[in-house]
Structure formats: structure tokens, C-alpha cells
A and B are shown apart, each in its own frame.
Chain A
Amino acid sequence: MPDETSTTDAVIHARGLKKCFGEFTAVDGVDFDVAPGEAFGFLGPNGAGKTSTMRMIGCVSPVTAGTLTVFGLDPAHDGARIRSRLGVVPQADTLDNELSVLENLLVYGRYFGLPWSESRRRATELLDFVQLTDRAKDQVEPLSGGMKRRLVIARALINEPALLLLDEPTTGLDPQARHLLWDRLYRLKQRGVTLCLTTHYMDEAEQLCDRLVVMDKAKIVAGGSPRQLIEQYVTREVLELRFNRGEGETDDGAHLDGQLDGLADRIEQLPDRLLVYTADGDATAAAAFERGLRPASILVRRSTLEDVFLRLTGRSLVE
């Protein structure tokens, strides 16, 4: 849970933050602080309340209850002032298809009150930063998904924000495009920009986040660095076992007759496989083999945030 003493210099400070849409509670009293220069993540499945939280931080969605300050200011009164120092990469690209790549940036700079010359200077620089210089005069529509995302990131940087909010920045992108994007975000972090992002990809959270909170059903269920979370909630390694079962049958582990008893800290049953949490995956696999278990396939891997999420909520992140 967040440290109460760190609130004075926090870029984002939230206590009991709540968002309701009519009867529906999207965010149910969450507490967190984001420190300057930090990369902070909200990890959770779709519908966990991540986007609603981000929209409140972005001062485009009024807070229903609780406390929220961004740069020490109150979004209810200083929304425009806060937004002038924010960069926002929304889930949907929201690019202007009637304008060229360069014009999209120019207009956005103007929205922030930049003079044309300054807007142009920054736009040119940013196109270089996101490797889109050769597409400057092109229309937006034919760009690939990855290129559009990069353009949106460039657009979000036109006001030189101190805080960058990214809502699922790489959802729907191919691996190559994701890695290019992560690289750019990492460089921004190096420059001292505070990053705040949502994701339902555990690898993204592990790559980018210094600290994260796990959200589920409108609440924060755990928080810490990726390493802390893994140490606290799961074992170092996971042994994945698959057994050949009949069509349509789920692996409820009943056929094992307790053959794994005492070998593992915990066993998680997924529809297609068993996850055996243990400090030493190879040793556990060998022990299971000795006891006569003959799985169709064996995989030993390091525990990830996915496992943490499974442990905390009993469900997978991406369904």
C-alpha cells in the first residue's frame, strides 16, 4: 500500500478515489501515489477500472468521490492547467484522418497554445523521434497500427509533458512494433518523464514499470515492483504440465490422485494445463516423474506477473 509520507512531492496522489457511472462503480476507492520520474502501471483485465482511473487522472472525467491531485492540483478546478502539462496516449488512436501526419502534430501543438513556429519545430523533432519523418506529408489512414501508435505518442509529447499517460499503449500491435514502442518509452523515462500506463500484458508491465498495482473488479488488489509482487505472491519458478485428456474435458487435476502432494507450494488448474508453483521447477518435474506421472508435455519457466494475477484473482489476464 502507498506510503503516506510520499504524498507531498507525488506527481499523482489518490486516496479513496472512486468513479461511478449511475449505479455502476467503475473504480471503487483506490489509493496510490506516483513519484516523479517513475514508471507506474495499472495491470488488470478488461473492465477492471484502469481506463476510468486514467481518465480521471487526465482530467477528462470528473472524480465521483475521494481525493485526487495531479502535480499537486485538483482536477475539478485546475483541469485545463493540469492537462497543459500532461501527455495522453488514449486507447483509441483518435487521429485526424482529414489531416496529414505532420498536420496532426501541428494542430495539437496549437491546442496547447504553442506558436506555429514552435509547434513546427517540435513536430519535426518528434517525427524523427518516432521514426516517421518520411511519412510527414502522408495521410494518416494508410499508416500501419504501429505507426499510428507512434504518431499518437509523438502527438502526446508536443507539449513536452512532465507526465505521460498511456492507456494500453501496445494492444493490438505485432511484437516488432511493440518493442520499438517500448524502446521509445524507455528513452522518455531516461529523460525524466513520469510514465503512467495501463496494460493487460504482464510482459509489458515487467518491461516498463518500476512499480505497479494490480486492479481487479474496480479495486487495487496488490501493489509493488514486479519483482516484489512475484516474490510475495508466487514462487520463483513454475512447472507447467499438460496431460492428454478427452475432447472438451477440462483438467481438474482429479486424475492425479494427490500424486503431486508435498512437491509444490501451490497448484493452479487451468483448462488446458496445470501450473505447479515451486522454487525449483526441474527438481519438481523429476520428482513428479519418479512418482509415476507421465504428462504429455513439461515446461519449466520463471514466474511472471500473469501468475501473480492468477493467484490474486483466480483468473487469467487475457481471456
Chain B
Amino acid sequence: MAASSAPIAPVAAPADARRGLMSALTAHSSLRVLEHDLLVFRRGWRSYMMSGLSQPFLYLLSMGIGLGLYVNRNGGAPGGVPYLNYIAPALLVTQAMMAAAFESAWPIMSKIAWEKTYLAALNTPIGATSLLAGDIMWIAFRAVLLSVLFFVVILAFGAVSSPLAVLAIPVAVLTALSFAAPIIAFTATQKTDQSFNMLFRFGITPLFLFSGTFFPIEKLPLFIQPLAWVTPLYHGVSLARGFSLGQVDPVADLIHVAVLAGFVVVGLFVARITFRRRLEL
């Protein structure tokens, strides 16, 4: 039970040892945050897995096969690729992106401002940076799970043209994080969730529709195309599609990865600042 012996014993550890201890503690405590999320997940994982399988099934059935019937009748996607094979990797990436964007908005807002579970965690040795790191890992974990499930469904539809297609999974996770990091940074600056609806209505949903997911961005009006280049989803979709169709272009692919990684790194950097500003005042 509660300590009865030696209630105070100031420890004068050497500065170096202390710093070492602290960094070890930080590395550890972010895992504890992830552990918490997994414990919560334990309750709902079955329904999560079910929707993780049924969503891709419905999408591929309706758009890939249904809509594909008409597209293929007119020569298929660019390069004569069957439409199903064309949109399957793109849908995989967008699904991971949508889920991660959602996870970075409302649930994080709740932990900060509604249920305030972050505040409870901050009363332990865990700091704001560990909370951020733990929940980013959690979002990455869910992105892996969703992408693997999606990929399984794609395989079941026989919609891959190359063994490289499996690389669509890490691409989807990277893309998910390229959205999660900046959105979490944004969430930590918000007092209410009003802005999230705007974010999804004017940001996430248009990106989902116009980032080369369903048709090449070259079909967009010229003045809009540069917009697609600066958003991460276009790069994720291009990468995943390239791998899935077995078309690798090392230079272009490196640029795609660099853009995605750039969003993650800058997003995390800003998120660390906004998290600390919000939670350690």
C-alpha cells in the first residue's frame, strides 16, 4: 500500500545518468501509451476486423468490378490496365489515409479536451511527447491492420499484377502517417471539433476523390494539377499503383517517398510543439 517508510529521499544522480534514465523512460512510456490503446482495442477488435474486410470488399465489388465493366469496355485504365487492378491499390491507400485522418481528429480531441485522459496520464512520469509518440504508433498500427486486410481482399479479387504489390501496404502506412502527423498537430490547437468537419469536407474528401484515385490527375484541369502534387495522397496513390502494376520508376518513386516522409517529419515536429503548448501550460 501507500509508502510509510522514507517518504522523502532526494536523489542526487549525476546529470548524465539522469539524462540517460530520462530518455529510456521516454522511449518506454510511449510504449505504455500504445499499450493503453491496445487494451481499449481489445474490446472492439472483432467488429473492427469485420469492417476492415467488408469495406474493401464493397468498394472493389462496386467500383472495381461494377464500374470497371464500363471502363474496361472502353479500353480500361491508362495502359489498358483492368480498372479493378487500377483502383485497388489506390483505394487501399485512401482507406488507410481516411482512417488515420479520422483517428487524428476526434479521438485525439477527446483525450485532450473531452474525456481528458491525457491529463490523467500527464500526472504520471509520462510526458506530452510520449503521449504523441504512443498515439502515432497506435495510428500506424491500425493503418497496418487495415492495409493488410485490404490487401487480403485485393488478393481474393485477383487484382494484383506484380509481386511488388505487397509494397502497397507500407506505402499506405506511410501515407496514413503523412496525414496523421499534421492533423494531430492541428487537433492540439483546437478548442472544439467544429473545424474537423471543414477539414474533412474541404480537405480529406476532395483529396480522396481527386488525387488520382479513380482517374489520372492528368484528366484534371491544368491549374488544379499542381495542387495534387503538393498533397501527400497523390504521391501515396502513385507509389502504390506503380508497385501494384509492377511499374517501378526509381526517381519518381524516391520523390514520392521523400514527399510523404517530409509530411511525416514536419508534421511530427509541429505536433510535438503544439502538444506541449496545449498540455504543459
Q: Which residues of A line the B interface, CB within 8 A?
A: 9, 11, 21, 36-37, 58, 60-62, 71-73, 78-81, 83-84, 86-88, 90, 92, 94-99, 103, 106-108, 110-113, 125, 129, 155-157, 159-164, 188, 191-194
One of B4, B9, B25, B35 near A107 (C-beta < 8 A): B35
CA distance in complex: A191, B10 (Å): 20
Least CB distance from B26 to A in Å reads 8
Instruction: Indicate if the CB atoms of B10 and A110 lie closer than 8 Å.
Output: no
Given contacts A97-B115, A110-B36, A191-B1, could you give 13 more A-B pairs where the C-beta distance is less than 8 Å?
A: A11-B8, A60-B280, A73-B11, A81-B125, A90-B120, A92-B116, A99-B40, A108-B124, A111-B32, A112-B125, A159-B124, A161-B2, A188-B2
CA distance in complex: A105, B119 (Å): 15
CA distance in complex: A79, B6 (Å): 20
The chain A residue sitting closest to B117, CB to CB, is: A96
Instruction: Indicate if the CB atoms of A60 and B122 lie closer than 8 Å.
Output: yes
Instruction: Indicate if the CB atoms of B11 and A111 lie closer than 8 Å.
Output: no
CA distance in complex: A61, B127 (Å): 12
Instruction: Indicate if the CB atoms of A160 and B2 lie closer than 8 Å.
Output: yes
B124: A residues at CB distance < 8 A:
83-84, 108, 111-112, 159
Q: A61-B281, A94-B117 are in contact. Are A36 and B7 (CB under 8 A)?
A: yes
One of A95, A103, A110, A157 near B32 (C-beta < 8 A): A110
Please encode chain B, from 12 to 43, with 1 for each CB lying within 8 Å of some chain A CB and 0 for all others: 00000010001001001100100110011001
Q: Which 4 A-B pairs have the closest CB atoms?
A: A72-B10, A111-B124, A162-B7, A88-B123
The chain A residue sitting closest to B126, CB to CB, is: A111
B6: A residues at CB distance < 8 A:
162
CB-defined A-B contacts under 8 Å, sample of 23: A60-B279, A61-B281, A72-B8, A73-B11, A80-B126, A81-B125, A83-B124, A83-B125, A90-B120, A95-B115, A107-B39, A111-B125, A112-B124, A113-B28, A113-B29, A125-B1, A129-B1, A160-B1, A160-B2, A162-B7, A188-B2, A191-B2, A192-B5
- Per the 8 Å Cβ criterion, residues 24-78 of B in contact with A are 25, 28-29, 32, 35-36, 39-40, 43
Least CB distance from A166 to B in Å reads 12
B116: A residues at CB distance < 8 A:
92, 94
Instruction: Indicate if the CB atoms of A193 and B3 lie closer than 8 Å.
Output: yes
Least CB distance from B45 to A in Å reads 13
CA distance in complex: A96, B36 (Å): 10
Instruction: Indicate if the CB atoms of B3 and A161 lie closer than 8 Å.
Output: yes
